[in-house]
Structure 1
């Protein structure tokens, strides 16, 4: 169904993205394609789909692939029918029904007499029965656009399907439909996603890295167990090498001290015995040469162990390299931070929530805010943060420091360089070298410090934002997360999860990623709509 041999891709500026990519997918296998940001997952899908040309190697598919890209804005100028590439065939179908039975129309239709029926069934499955096929795509929400392209799978019935982050803009109900669709589909699938629930539906995991593609014969949970075992083994090697380095340095120090004592003692004996000066100088030179050789041997050993340790640390997963340092001392569990009684809000005449909301948020809670698209989650967040007031009911807010982390990480100023951004949060007066140490902890080396915020990926912005919060030192009382994993790969989602689990304050989280909510131990839900 899909065979890739010795595939190479270089960017237009000649920078190599990947090479020696080899892969075989047989019908009806379903595989997850995962890898760190910048590994080339989306590029590989585009090459298979024929959107991009490789720099070398071959791609063979048994049939025309059906490709659902991650970003759909480029189709905004098209109608739904045009985006699904069915407009001409549908028009021919309607022309024939109207009696215009021409050779051209019959050729365009190509005996596809149940096309309209498939369209209606596919759109109904995804909850798009109200959709007009002549409607412009730019009038649809992100979730609706995704559903349109997913509906195209049932319309075209392809043998090979390529999906790039298909659950990104879907709410909980939409994700459930997607999971069921993937389970029941007989198509061969290659899926790029960070949605662990979706990944667990796929029978194999393909990890894309600089080494090529590594196949793990199981779902994502199996892959995660394998990687955890590898990581623990590597961490043990690091700890063992750190211990060996400490011993080598201690032996080097003790040997140097011992040699120094022997030299002093020998010199005193020589002076006491009245040894000729020329003989004393010869013995002194011999002792210095001996000491120098010993120093060289120990320095060489310490250097070799240090190099081995450096190489081992380079292999560690990035989540194991990052260290968090929130000052949690000002957080007190159980304090009422926000209280709402019978609140509601209106846009126009209709009330946003069918029933007025009454609830409290206390310090230390981890709350998931749930609801369909358009159910008022963002409005409620703005009320909690004090940006707007409810139009009915009452609220009470305790003095608190809140941080709102939205999907676009807008706490990051796109006009500032990475180091300048970090300085903006330096309320505790850290020295320049201390800030740079913190940046290094969050995987920003000196090669990155001059990059502007506008040039960072979603994952990089997230890491910089977390770094800035640790630079400000004092942990906020409330962190509000609005779909925080939407633009993150698996690696950066793990980093975010680790940071959140290190935080002891209050969390209010909007997310359709059930696995993420489990991992951060969301303990209470507020349901809207």
Structure 2
């Protein structure tokens, strides 16, 4: 359940507005405890902005932030000077160079000032690099010699070495392969001090003590990892929905009772008028009865109205507990792919695998193995694809019912057997930057009218005047949704969807939508991903690993 602890970071009515007037955060209050906390929230909720504000990289428009110590930030996108030494990326170069100078006999006072008490800086730095699989001589290498994953891990080790009391990590596992992700999790599990991690990596979130959610202007903290928070939220929302239903039913009854009161008053008034007309009693008695009836009617009306108002307030209170979130709704068209139809062939020169019918194939492997290059070759081959059965072992094996998925071949390849291939690249760079959102979507579905296209875009939360904005003016999350819409709204529908790290830029709710869409899609799907939880949910028929130029079935 939600709880509070001794605060390391406290926010008081914190707001931030970008120079163009768009509001990123509005009156956010809350606190992070002296623990390891995962921060979740929808795309665009302001998580990265919040970290930048806590770290001091941005200044609040209004409100205050108080922290219990020094703050260090690992940003979502590292700005790397590839010519710098690894020691500089770690943040220990000044102390390290000073220690080495003193060891060479240089007793300049400035060296001692640079070292301070950090005489074991080199040993600690080497030990940290060893934790992430880098050799002892890596300290003096150039950053450009590191892989992307190694650079992130090195920067993470640097935060720990610098010893800030509060560490902020923004999507630290994005674009990392399995080995690097595992090392990040090891570092996080052993982290001392306050740690706040923005991530959609559920495996990483599961290693943390608390889960915080940024939702609208509310920052709430739950005492437990992501899975426990999710279970609590689902239970709370189910109870909230039930309470709202009960409140609406009570309001309906109170309105019906009020109508009955009005009907009774009307009947009583009619009887009074009839008695007065017939003069069934003295006028003074009839007048007294009329005044008494008016008093009673007023009291009954007031009581009935108060009950209706109370019931309406209960509906409002219960309704505020129920989330009415906008969610991307992905309905994929039926590409009409038969179960025996060959869609693509992947191979490494020794063996190949045929993707046929509405199958799901996962392609995994370390960073730098060539997975994206292989996907690009596959997509490029679609222009000359031939739907007719190919001659040779692949066609014969497919016709025979595929007793063995692997077939010996003589050269590495990735070939599409259809020209209807939809590709979502990891860089989301398939959009015309100068064209509007609507113009980009129109190129994918030229047969649809603007009204229909706008309705379809609304399912991806792109609405109103936003459809006329140029792609170059979109945020990262907006760009991804437009690229996804362009892919999934294409006419005719693709026989094969090729997705390269599709969850990198998605919040967890949108990942849920994507999983459901892939499950319902009747075409073939080829996915490159390091997200094991995502791959497990789409339940691939086949998983291939590409490593050192060799492709193997996992």
Same fold (TM over 0.5): yes
CA distance in 2, matches of 1:394, 1:69: 37
- Contact 1:324/1:502 (CA < 8 Å) preserved in 2? no
State the shift of 1:528 in Å.
1.7
SS of the residue 1:173 aligns to: helix
481, 493, 505: which is aligned to 2:523? 505
25, 29, 34: which is aligned to 1:18? 25
State the shift of 1:396 in Å.
6.7
- Pair 1:441–1:383, CA change in 2 (3 A): closer
202, 211, 218: which is aligned to 2:208? 202
**2:353 paired residue number:** 359
- Contact 1:41/1:208 (CA < 8 Å) preserved in 2? yes
**1:220 paired residue number:** 226
State the shift of 1:21 in Å.
2.8
| Correspondence 1:424 to 2:443 | yes
- Contact 1:407/1:487 (CA < 8 Å) preserved in 2? no
Output aligned runs, 1:65-76, within 5 Å: 65-73=71-79, 75-76=81-82
For structure 1, which runs of at least 5 residues remain unmatched after alignment?
Answer: 244-303, 345-355
CA distance in 1, matches of 2:414, 2:487: 28
State the shift of 1:85 in Å.
2.4
85, 99, 108: which is aligned to 1:79? 85
Across the two proteins, how many residue pairs are aligned to each other?
A: 450
**2:100 paired residue number:** 94
CA distance in 1, matches of 2:56, 2:225: 27
**1:250 paired residue number:** none
CA distance in 1, matches of 2:241, 2:524: 32
| Correspondence 1:407 to 2:426 | yes
State the shift of 1:448 in Å.
0.6
**2:309 paired residue number:** none
Output aligned runs, 1:85-124, within 5 Å: 85-124=91-130
CA distance in 2, matches of 1:335, 1:398: 9
State the shift of 1:359 in Å.
1.9
Output aligned runs, 1:58-457, within 5 Å: 58-73=64-79, 75-76=81-82, 78-129=84-135, 132-229=138-235, 315-319=323-327, 322-328=328-334, 330-339=336-345, 343-344=348-349, 356-387=350-381, 392=411, 397-427=416-446, 429-457=447-475
Cα offsets for 1:435-479 (capped at 9, x unmatched): 221122221111211111122233323322333345335431111
- Contact 1:328/1:474 (CA < 8 Å) preserved in 2? no
SS of the residue 2:73 aligns to: strand
State the shift of 1:512 in Å.
0.6
CA distance in 1, matches of 2:231, 2:212: 15
TM-score computed with the length of structure 1 as normaliser? 0.76
CA distance in 1, matches of 2:340, 2:143: 48
443, 458, 468: which is aligned to 2:486? 468
CA distance in 2, matches of 1:10, 1:100: 51
State the shift of 1:238 in Å.
9.8
CA distance in 2, matches of 1:168, 1:329: 31
State the shift of 1:497 in Å.
2.7
- Contact 2:436/2:471 (CA < 8 Å) preserved in 1? yes
- Aligned-pair RMSD on alpha carbons? 3.3
SS of the residue 1:332 aligns to: coil
| Correspondence 1:47 to 2:65 | no
- Pair 1:24–1:439, CA change in 2 (3 A): closer
- Pair 1:512–1:504, CA change in 2 (3 A): same
Cα offsets for 1:387-414 (capped at 9, x unmatched): 4999826777533521111112233222
For structure 2, which runs of at least 5 residues remain unmatched after alignment?
Answer: 1-6, 250-311, 385-408, 548-554
Pick which of 221-230 and 171-180 moved more: 221-230
- Contact 1:146/1:169 (CA < 8 Å) preserved in 2? no
CA distance in 2, matches of 1:195, 1:339: 31
- Pair 1:108–1:33, CA change in 2 (3 A): same
SS of the residue 2:184 aligns to: helix
SS of the residue 1:358 aligns to: strand
State the shift of 1:63 in Å.
2.4
State the shift of 1:46 in Å.
1.6
State the shift of 1:339 in Å.
3.6
CA distance in 2, matches of 1:337, 1:40: 41
- Pair 1:501–1:10, CA change in 2 (3 A): same
- Contact 1:2/1:24 (CA < 8 Å) preserved in 2? yes
- Pair 1:494–1:396, CA change in 2 (3 A): closer
- Contact 2:37/2:212 (CA < 8 Å) preserved in 1? yes
Cα offsets for 1:293-328 (capped at 9, x unmatched): xxxxxxxxxxx9xx99xx999952333xx4444331
State the shift of 1:235 in Å.
7.2
State the shift of 1:149 in Å.
0.4
- Pair 1:175–1:526, CA change in 2 (3 A): same
CA distance in 1, matches of 2:98, 2:488: 62
Cα offsets for 1:16-66 (capped at 9, x unmatched): 432333333333x11111222222211211222222222333333332122
SS of the residue 1:70 aligns to: coil
